[in-house]
Each structure stands twice: as C-alpha cells, then as structure tokens.
Structure 1
C-alpha cells in the first residue's frame, strides 16, 4: 500500500465524516425549533411522492446488448434509473420555473 492508496482512503473517510455531520448537525439544531423539522419532513415526503410517481411511470425496457455481459441490467434496475432520471428532470424544471417566477416578481416590484 503506497501513499496514493492511503490518501484515497483518508479522502473517503473525510467524505463520510462530512456527510454524517452534514446530516446530523441540522437535525440536532432543529430540535430547538420543531417547526423547521416539520418543514423538512414535508419536503422529504413530497420528493418521495414525486419519485414514486416517476418510478411508476418509468419503463423497465432494456436493449438486448445491455441485458447481457458486461452490463447485466435488470428490468428493476432500469426502472429505478428511469424513475431517478424523471425525478431529476421534474425537479430541474421546477427549479427553472421558480427562478423565472422570482425574476418576474422582482421586475414587477
């Protein structure tokens, strides 16, 4: 094991520690104000519902070359990827719509 491997593992460890702190610290802070935690839970539920709708509309069709080696994509995996993509597209469109509405309201004021 040379120094490159050591630094890679150290980087992985720091990313994991950062992710844990990024998730836990806002949760700990939100116990002071439970209403903010409720807003977070509502947001997570809405995104989960959006993913559920996207997953149910996604297709599980796979081209023959992706079903074989070396890819071995299953219909369930293809449907999951399709659901995630549709969710990302919907959230991106929603974000762009929000930006446009915000800018229009700034112009009107």
Structure 2
C-alpha cells in the first residue's frame, strides 16, 4: 500500500465524517428550536414530492447496448436516474426563478 492509497482512504474517511456531521449537527441544534426542524421536514417533503412527480414522468427506456454486460442498466434504474435528473432540473429552474424574483424585489424597494 503506497501513500496514494493511504491518502485516498483518508479522504474517504473525511468525506464520511463530513456527511455524518452535516446531518447530525443541524439536528442537535434544532432540538432547541422545533420550528426550524419543522421547516426542514417541510423542505424535505417538498423535494420528495418533486421527485415523485419527476419519477412518474421519467422515461424508463434503455437502448439495447446499455443493457449489455459493461453497463447492465435496467429500465427501473434508468427511470430512477431520469427522475433524479428531472428533479435537479426543476430545482435549478426554481432557484433561477427565485433569484430573479429577489432581484426584482430589490429593484422595486
């Protein structure tokens, strides 16, 4: 095992620690203020609804060459990936619209 492997494993460990702390620390901080926890749950629920709509409209078609050995993509997997992509597109458009509305409000005030 050379230093590259050691640094890769250290990087993996730091990413895992970061993900765990980014989930646990806001939960600990929000226990003192339950309204903030409710807002977070509403946000997660809205993203879940957006994903549900995107998943139901996603296409599960897969070309024959991608169903073969190197890729092994199933129609269900393609539909999940399509749903995730559509969710990202919808949230991106929502962010752009929010930015434009905020800037228009700043100009009016």
TM-score range, shorter chain: over 0.9
CA distance in 1, matches of 2:93, 2:7: 39
Q: Does 1:48 align with 2:48?
A: yes
**How many pairs does the alignment contain?**
109
Q: Name 1:27's counterpart in structure 2.
A: 27
Shift of 1:67: 1.2
Displaced runs of 4 or more, over 2 A: none
Task: Note the alpha carbon deviations across 1:45-72, whole angstroms, 9 max, x for none.
Answer: 0100110110011010011111112111
The answer for the alignment partner of 1:89 in structure 2 is: 89
Q: Partner residue of 1:10?
A: 10
Structure 1, gaps ≥5 residues long = none
Q: How far apart, in 1, do the equivalents of 2:23 and 2:72 lie?
A: 33
Distance apart, 1:18 and its partner CA: 1.0
For structure 2, list consecutive stretches of 5 or more residues without a partner in the other structure. Answer: none
Deviation at 1:106, TM superposition (A): 0.5
- TM-score, with length taken from structure 1: 0.98
Paired residue secondary structure (1:95): helix
Q: Aligned with 1:88: secondary structure?
A: helix
Tell me the residue number matched to 1:59: 59
Give the structure 1 partner of residue 39 of structure 2. Answer: 39
Deviations 1:3-34 (A, max 9, x none): 11111101110111111111100100000000
1:99 alignment partner, SS class: helix
Pairwise CA RMSD: 0.6
